[in-house]
Structure 1
Amino acid sequence: MSQATTSRPSAPAKNSYQPEIQGLRALAVLLVVVYHFWPHRLTGGFVGVDIFFVISGYLITAHIYRDIVNNGRLDLGAFWARRIRRLLPLSFLVLGVTAVAAVAVLPSTQWATTSRQIVASALYVENWVLAGDAVDYSAMDDAATAVQHFWSLSVEEQFYVVWPLFLFAVVWLAARRGVPTAGRLRRLMITFLLLIGAASLAYSLWFTAYDQAQAYFVTPTRIWEFAAGALAALVLQGRQFTGRAGNVLGWAGLAAVLASAVLYSSATPFPGYAALLPIAGTVALLVAGGRSPVSGVYWWFSLKPSTVLGDLSYAVYLWHWPVVVLAPFVWVGAETAAGKLLLIAMIILLSWLSKIHIEDRYRRSQFLKPTRRSLAMAGTGMAAVAALAVALPWSVALATQGPTVSQDDDCYGYAALANPEGCQPVAGSGAPSPSVAEVAEQSKDPLFPDCQAEFDTTGVRECLLGAPEESSDGAIAVFGDSHATAWLPALEPLAQRNNLTLKVYSRSGCTPTVAELENPGTGRDLEMNTLCTEANREIVQRVAADDSVGTVVVAANQADSDFVSSEGFTSDDPQIEGFTSPWRDWLDSGKRVVAMGEIPRLQSGDGPDAPTCLAEHPRDPLACAVPESKAFPWGQNIRDAADTMDDEGFTYVETTDFFCRDGRCHAQIGGIVTYYDKSHVSHTYAANLSPVIEDSLRKAGAID
């Protein structure tokens, strides 16, 4: 492997063991574990992860600097091999066990997401997957997986890979200007750390204000936290302030960390400015304190219980979150106070066994000591975990799939709802076809992936489906949000059958109104809402001027937002006029307008989505039905606006009857899962409704 060399100047301060750092690790993992078991009690316990980042920057940078100065070189291969032997064997074991446990206890609808994140965790890119999901409209309702905590380990591993390369570059540049002294090399490293740390902090401040959901996970917003620890290591070189003033500073650092854990919450913009407090507190704990009994911070952190828990902290962190996520599926007492204490005791015991038999064994392995063998073990482990995570749920699903409702059955799909005398029960007999797990994946596997603009799309995206525009008999425009997109599996074949082009103008999370939001938010939210409003107004004008469009179909989610007047509004009800204004513009241009009613929601809060509920009640799909009175928790703006329209050429299509009968709305109808989440029509059910919707459009005169 590559090596950078210098002369061998005098060594820095002696590399002495610092037991208080293990105590600091114990504090970090305690904060995280308590936060995950009691999130409403210790609302900011997530700052424990930031403590780990600072400690890693402190120890790894000090270690690399000592290697360079004492040995005259930086052996990258040996450095990475040590990290592999120390960290990867246990992480592979936890991921493998979690992959098996997830298939054994979780609903099948969660298998695919868990599998995807296990693969990402094995490759140490989980933080980037979660960052992508944080702004992916289709993934926003996903439940936390049992390996989601690997995001922080992914950041750490990326740090271990990139950090020595950065320092390698500094050593190389220093060597090109002559043989550097230890002092000059140290000053160069400090300068570099100040620059990269300042850049990362500035980016973290900006990105957290702009998009906190993504900023929490991405690596660049966290680099400054490692740099803070690294600077503490290089500036003081292992020396610590232990006098009275230093001891006061150490206690102040502990107070800063604990204040963050108590006062912060999920609503705190983090990392950003808020991370400065726990990071400063951690640095203070690393460099200041005292060992005097009782009064010294280091004395408390150096006590045997603190250091033992610190020794177990890596294993505790790895094991605790899968237990938090999976235990409630197998034990009803898992969420009681006594149950949580018992689970924590089990985690500590499991972590102790893991440290002895996995961590210590592989860290000291002479067989794996050669760099090539360590790297080979890393690659083999990653491949094995990924293969297990992908193959296991697929093979189990294949083996356990029961008989399904035939698509040729007279009671398949909507027919079961429309024929109550001949088809009982509404849900249909047998397993749904396609399976609930397949339907759950439809949110991430759209049939028309290029037909929906995302939050941050600038301008208007037009998508053409149905018959080719040059040979069609006209066009139908589709305008709306992701719920309009969900109707495309019904509208596209309809357009094909009638030789019509389908012009799609949909945008996720963007209500099809020309009114403005009363509270558009700030940062990213403000920008996205502005793009939404501007795009909607351009679409209205474009469609009105398009002579090929004979009919406009509008569809949207139930809206819980309040809208205010826009330029040109004449009524005192912008909530209504934001919809009716473009409808009347299109009617005035000679087009027909068909407004699809908002569809009932099966859940509006933290309850399971339709596929998950059905997976949890495979023998009783009617258990997932909800009263119609509870299926419309938010404002039905389209229905309310349609009630004010008596214009010729306007038609309102009531969609409630597509999902509800006798006052109950269903998650499964005639062997088809009706929603791929809590409110979006599944591809299969939308396609099944295509003839019914075609009938509605024909009655409206939209189709000859």
Structure 2
Amino acid sequence: MRIKWFSLVRITGLIMVLAYHFYPKQVTGGFVGVDLFFVFSGFLITSLMIDEFAKQSHFDLLAFYRRRFNRIVPPLWFSVTLVLPLSLLINRDFLTNIGKQVAAAFGFVTNYYEILTGGNYENQFTPHLFVHTWTLALEMHFYILWGLLVWFLVQYVKRSRFNRIDRTDLLRLRIGQLSAVFILIQLAVIYLQIQQGINLNVIYFADVTHAFPFFIGALVASLTGIRQLPNYFKHVLGRTSAGGAMTGMLLGLALLAGLTALLKFDQPITYQWGFLLASLGAALMIVSARILHDKTPSIEEPRLITFLADTSYSVYLYHWPLIIIFGHLINHDLAVLLTISLSLALSALSYYVIEPMLTHPKIKPFWHRSALALMTILAGITFVICWQAPKLSNLSQHLWQGNLQQDVDQLHSLADNTATQTGHNRQIPKGISVIGDSVTLGTRTYLATHLVDSSIDAQPNRNMTQANQVLEEQIRNKTLRQNVIICIGTNSLNDYQEQLMKLIQTLPKGHRLILMTPFDGQANAGWNSSKLTVLERTLPDKYPFITIADWNRLAGQHREIFGSGDGTHFAGNADGDKLYAQCLNDALAKAEKGPVKNK
């Protein structure tokens, strides 16, 4: 039994997720679209379980697992194996450890793979091609656990003395009670983990904190249903008009739209209340759609809506790796258009042609064998790509080399300073102190020989607060050189202005300050790094000892140095090294003609 207007629920979730992935800075809360999917999955699966028991007084657990496998695995297989060869068109850094990503996707453990690797700084700039399969991991875990628990509930109910109808009501009651327990436990765990300061990524990806929307869906299923409806809900159906059902859908949609516009991924309130409110909005849409189905018997669901709903799962699978690949080859808006078009085409091929060839019981053996042969060929190609993929990205190699050289240089610098500084006779060391982030660290080896008499301290993910800490430490250790270069800004936090002014005030007398403006090829005017650039350019007029090394402008004129990379790092590109050093040396030459800080 296909329920009309459920398609609108699916499409709403898909649009929210696509909008967030395509335009994350504009659609900041679109990630709650996955919670809508979770609620719908919990509702649909649980409703079908109840319907099966009501009809047959039985629940076939193995048949349930087989249906879930056939629906989830073939589209996943084809999406991964068809898209992976396209990744050869972009920077090989995206293929680093791709075999582990593929294994995590097919093993339905991507959520835990992301928890273990998501803290890696490099992943912020070279995102995993199959990170989006974390939702499938949660979904599969839910199906395995929930299927088993409902099977046990069915055995319990079958031993009761009630008749079939009463047994179905008893099963509904127990499913609702168990769902409510899981919901309350998970919400309590979320609250406690936020109070303890647990990394929000862990809360987002973990089953124990992000599976509760499935159970909200299961709870709604226990109260409503698809075929077999409880008597009170039949009464609700009789008293609710089509207009009332439409109003309910619009209210749920409005709530989700508001959350999409307001929520942000890195805010604790999103985890404490945002996901719960999104799940409740999804539940309202589902119940309203179920009522609207009965209230519109003469209206057919438009075929376009049905098509989009049928292919929504596969579109979700294809869109993320495709937007990463195309986004590094062509203009972003064109990449979005191409991603949507190709995702729809491949999804239609998968849903209407390839999947039936594998799973339809009446398919001819020839077509079944053909589909299996295609899967085998794609598996072979995938294996070769994974086997030849780099184990360490170019960025990681340069960061590792830079860190190693930096440790050696800092030991020498400290030894030299200890030998030359005696008593209270402190002389300001001549030369250059560079405080930088991962961009500086990636080109450190080149700077060591092309930035004369320099001491470089750079670390990945460094922000202005941490730059202040390094500055203060060098002041205490009496290692801060006369010309101080700050290459910080790509990782700007909301307090960038306060921290920059603190740095200017902390800088001792007798020093010059060179501020290198940050460049992020993905940033727009609303990003903190862009705002920091604007602020830094105004400072020399107020502080004569400050000079600007305008990397933002220079790098923007030479985007070719980033290749098909992340638009921020150019580690390993000789032209990028030269341009970066040129930017610093030109600013230094200008600074040398100006005054030092005198008060």
Structure 2 letter corresponding to 1:621: A
Looking at structure 2, the residues matched to 140 and 606 of structure 1 have their Cα atoms a distance apart, in angstroms, of 15
Structure 1 letter corresponding to 2:138: V
Structure 2 letter corresponding to 1:274: G
Correspondence for 2:541? none
Three-state SS of the structure 2 residue aligned to 1:288 is helix
Q: Deviations for 1:125-159, whole angstroms, at most 9, x for unmatched residues?
A: 112212223334x4453422332221212221222
Name which of 126, 147, 150 aligns with 1:167.
Answer: 150
Q: 2:194 aligned with 1:194, yes or no?
A: no
1:251–1:197 distance in 2 versus 1, CA, 3 Å: same
Q: 2:579 aligned with 1:622, yes or no?
A: no
Map 1:189-268 onto structure 2 (within 5 A). Answer: 189-207=175-193, 210=197, 211-238=199-226, 239=233, 241=237, 242-243=240-241, 245-268=244-267
Task: Check the 8 A contact 2:97/2:386 in 1, yes or no.
Answer: no
Three-state SS of the structure 1 residue aligned to 2:30 is coil
Map 1:287-686 onto structure 2 (within 5 A). Answer: 287-288=287-288, 302-330=301-329, 332=330, 334-336=331-333, 340-365=336-361, 389=382, 391-395=384-388, 439-440=394-395, 442=397, 557=459, 560-562=463-465, 606=520, 613=562, 621-628=574-581
Looking at structure 2, the residues matched to 578 and 193 of structure 1 have their Cα atoms a distance apart, in angstroms, of 54
Task: Check the 8 A contact 1:126/1:151 in 2, yes or no.
Answer: yes
% same residue: 21
Three-state SS of the structure 2 residue aligned to 1:275 is helix
Q: 2:75 aligned with 1:95, yes or no?
A: no
Three-state SS of the structure 2 residue aligned to 1:73 is coil
The Cα shift of 1:351 comes to: 2.0
Looking at structure 2, the residues matched to 359 and 59 of structure 1 have their Cα atoms a distance apart, in angstroms, of 21
Looking at structure 2, the residues matched to 186 and 385 of structure 1 have their Cα atoms a distance apart, in angstroms, of 44
Looking at structure 1, the residues matched to 298 and 207 of structure 2 have their Cα atoms a distance apart, in angstroms, of 34
The Cα shift of 1:246 comes to: 4.7
Looking at structure 1, the residues matched to 304 and 82 of structure 2 have their Cα atoms a distance apart, in angstroms, of 28
Structure 2 letter corresponding to 1:59: L
Three-state SS of the structure 2 residue aligned to 1:135 is coil
Looking at structure 1, the residues matched to 285 and 485 of structure 2 have their Cα atoms a distance apart, in angstroms, of 56
The Cα shift of 1:177 comes to: 6.9
Structure 1 letter corresponding to 2:384: A
The Cα shift of 1:249 comes to: 2.9
Q: 2:93 aligned with 1:116, yes or no?
A: no
Looking at structure 1, the residues matched to 376 and 486 of structure 2 have their Cα atoms a distance apart, in angstroms, of 43
Q: Return the TM-score normalized by structure 2.
A: 0.63
Looking at structure 2, the residues matched to 237 and 290 of structure 1 have their Cα atoms a distance apart, in angstroms, of 8
1:132–1:489 distance in 2 versus 1, CA, 3 Å: farther
Looking at structure 2, the residues matched to 630 and 169 of structure 1 have their Cα atoms a distance apart, in angstroms, of 69
1:234–1:122 distance in 2 versus 1, CA, 3 Å: same
Looking at structure 2, the residues matched to 599 and 394 of structure 1 have their Cα atoms a distance apart, in angstroms, of 41
Task: Check the 8 A contact 1:112/1:441 in 2, yes or no.
Answer: no
1:123–1:382 distance in 2 versus 1, CA, 3 Å: farther
Name which of 10, 30, 34 aligns with 1:49.
Answer: 34
Q: 2:81 aligned with 1:82, yes or no?
A: no
- Greater CA deviation, 61-70 or 244-253? 244-253
Looking at structure 2, the residues matched to 233 and 290 of structure 1 have their Cα atoms a distance apart, in angstroms, of 11
Looking at structure 2, the residues matched to 172 and 299 of structure 1 have their Cα atoms a distance apart, in angstroms, of 40
The Cα shift of 1:194 comes to: 0.7
Three-state SS of the structure 2 residue aligned to 1:281 is helix
Three-state SS of the structure 1 residue aligned to 2:27 is coil
Looking at structure 2, the residues matched to 620 and 223 of structure 1 have their Cα atoms a distance apart, in angstroms, of 44
Correspondence for 1:275? 275
Task: Check the 8 A contact 1:205/1:272 in 2, yes or no.
Answer: yes
Q: 2:63 aligned with 1:64, yes or no?
A: no
Name which of 109, 120, 126 aligns with 2:110.
Answer: 126
Looking at structure 2, the residues matched to 168 and 265 of structure 1 have their Cα atoms a distance apart, in angstroms, of 39
Looking at structure 2, the residues matched to 127 and 388 of structure 1 have their Cα atoms a distance apart, in angstroms, of 25
- Greater CA deviation, 177-186 or 123-132? 177-186
Task: Check the 8 A contact 1:133/1:139 in 2, yes or no.
Answer: no
The Cα shift of 1:93 comes to: 0.8
Correspondence for 2:126? 143
Counting matched residue pairs gives 457
Task: Check the 8 A contact 1:556/1:598 in 2, yes or no.
Answer: no
Q: Deviations for 1:337-394, whole angstroms, at most 9, x for unmatched residues?
A: 6x6335423332332222111233334245899xxx9xxx99x999998875453254
- Greater CA deviation, 67-76 or 144-153? 67-76
Task: Check the 8 A contact 1:22/1:306 in 2, yes or no.
Answer: yes
Task: Check the 8 A contact 1:249/1:288 in 2, yes or no.
Answer: yes
Three-state SS of the structure 2 residue aligned to 1:18 is coil
Structure 2 letter corresponding to 1:216: Y
1:186–1:340 distance in 2 versus 1, CA, 3 Å: closer
Q: Deviations for 1:406-461, whole angstroms, at most 9, x for unmatched residues?
A: xxxxxxxxxxxxxxxxxxxxxxxxxxxxx9956545599x89xxxxxxxxxxxxxx
Q: Return the TM-score normalized by structure 1.
A: 0.55
Structure 2 letter corresponding to 1:190: G
Q: Which runs of 5+ in 1 are unaligned?
A: 1-15, 398-434, 448-482, 495-552, 565-572, 585-591, 633-642, 645-704
1:555–1:75 distance in 2 versus 1, CA, 3 Å: same
CA RMSD of aligned residues (A): 4.9
Structure 1 letter corresponding to 2:285: L
The Cα shift of 1:580 comes to: 5.8
The Cα shift of 1:187 comes to: 1.4
Three-state SS of the structure 2 residue aligned to 1:39 is coil
Task: Check the 8 A contact 1:20/1:301 in 2, yes or no.
Answer: no
Looking at structure 1, the residues matched to 61 and 29 of structure 2 have their Cα atoms a distance apart, in angstroms, of 36
- Greater CA deviation, 214-223 or 169-178? 169-178
The Cα shift of 1:614 comes to: 7.7
Looking at structure 1, the residues matched to 582 and 456 of structure 2 have their Cα atoms a distance apart, in angstroms, of 24
Task: Check the 8 A contact 1:208/1:216 in 2, yes or no.
Answer: no
1:152–1:563 distance in 2 versus 1, CA, 3 Å: closer
Structure 2 letter corresponding to 1:277: L
Looking at structure 2, the residues matched to 621 and 278 of structure 1 have their Cα atoms a distance apart, in angstroms, of 48
Q: 2:12 aligned with 1:27, yes or no?
A: yes
1:342–1:100 distance in 2 versus 1, CA, 3 Å: closer
Three-state SS of the structure 2 residue aligned to 1:29 is helix
Structure 1 letter corresponding to 2:580: P
Looking at structure 2, the residues matched to 216 and 50 of structure 1 have their Cα atoms a distance apart, in angstroms, of 11
Structure with greater proportional helix content: 2
Looking at structure 1, the residues matched to 249 and 69 of structure 2 have their Cα atoms a distance apart, in angstroms, of 33
